[in-house]
Structure 1
């Protein structure tokens, strides 16, 4: 009876995840913008040192390996440092950056703005509780920064700049939405010179973490919802996504994945990645 119930519930669980997927903006470039035009090497160096200092002070892993942010401990001087960093980023001419410099720039901008939004509204249990109105499910459509004369939301940065421009599925392991279920917020800024190495490391870390890929007590495969929200970034269908995941899975996990033909469920923990809650 229990097995029959599980079989009956699988389509419903998949349907819920699919509805969430439909609610996300498509990966469509911003019209008439030069924000993603890149320069040939060497480009222009952008300092992310203030962001690295902030992250080194307030980001640390808990016992489960989840990088948590000590939002409640941020000092006034470090909050001013973050604000200054965001002001400096908004003054950057992104067209003078190389492709890798640009991608590091946009990832850092997205993550720093997200932390800034949390600090503006702290204490909060989840980023999804930060709403513009009754129909809002988070701050992602709020106009928060201005770059090159364009007023941008977090959704603009992720779905209208990064995803359609760089064709890089591993950005989903770099962008952080301040949730426990999200890939870790790195403890230092992203930099062009280490971009490939850090993307590969972030991918391996998340795929081999229960937040990304795990099996339940009955052997059912549970994937993070990022693999259905952004399925087309990883592959044309579920089987292609499973094949993709295997490329970064550790040997034991890879062997188990090779025996699986379907995903039982997609899950995601929206609890705030707050150090105070994880201690």
Structure 2
């Protein structure tokens, strides 16, 4: 079990909420691309020099559930998003070179169900972090996490070049959402309908749970009409509920 032996109380007690070690990983190996709407990762170099990543994963694995509960809501959420992204990096470099994260795993077990790390005192898989903890109904109620967690694929919203922190969380979530929606290859208004990422099909319920008073995809896209570049006429169609949706195919090619 990767990293299971590293968990200890001292690491939990001294956890660095600025995520400085992880910041070095992202600064050294992640770059913005496509006018800042996407990012790429230098997995080959990260695989050759994994010390900072391994050190950060060791810190993550040292945090117990009881410790997490003492933190603020934003500290918890930043911790969980960073954990998901950092362990995804670990998964990729442990199997690199690969063409896609979906090439990892077996016929019986996809990569998101592999229990390869320890978090909060438990052997976990990535789906558990995202779907059972971050997305647990009534806990964080934060649909913008779908533009923050990164699945190492071109179709996925960008992995940021710095960690999420409690102090900057709101700004970072908003910025990540706007960057993703500005990418016309993945989200666009065309021929009287919105053609958007399949993220909005897979997790539609998260965007309709009442965050910021939003209870529909129409309302969500109205909030981000500027990022989508919608005209006033197109916004009015959204207000009237007259917009059809087409959910685009997802590109699972590795984001390197």
TM-score bracket for this pair, using the shorter chain length: 0.7 to 0.9
- 1:265 is aligned, of 225, 230, 247, to 247
Cα 1:50–1:246 shift into 2, 3 Å: same
Question: Which residue does 2:230 correspond to in 1?
Answer: 253
Q: Any idea what SS the aligned residue of 2:97 has?
A: coil
Summarize deviations over 1:59-100 as a string: whole Å, max 9, x none: 112345420001112264x40110111011110232232111
Structure-2 separation of matches of 1:159 and 1:146? 16
TM-score by length of 1: 0.75
Answer with 46-55 or 166-175: which moved more.
Answer: 46-55
Cα 1:166–1:211 shift into 2, 3 Å: farther
Q: Any idea what SS the aligned residue of 1:204 has?
A: helix
Q: CA deviation at 1:150?
A: 1.6
Task: Decide whether the 8 Å contact of 1:101 with 1:192 is kept in 2.
Answer: yes
Cα 1:270–1:83 shift into 2, 3 Å: same
Cα 1:254–1:246 shift into 2, 3 Å: farther
Structure-1 separation of matches of 2:150 and 2:47? 22
Question: Which residue does 1:243 correspond to in 2?
Answer: 219
Cα 1:166–1:124 shift into 2, 3 Å: same
Q: Which structure 1 residue ranges, 4+ long, deviate > 4 Å from structure 2?
A: none
Summarize deviations over 1:126-162 as a string: whole Å, max 9, x none: 111112x2144x3100112222322111011000000
Summarize deviations over 1:1-23 as a string: whole Å, max 9, x none: xxxxxxxxxxxxxxxxxxxxxxx
Question: Which residue does 1:225 correspond to in 2?
Answer: 198
Instruction: Report the count of equivalent residues.
Output: 226
TM-score by length of 2: 0.81
Alignment RMSD (CA, Å): 2.2
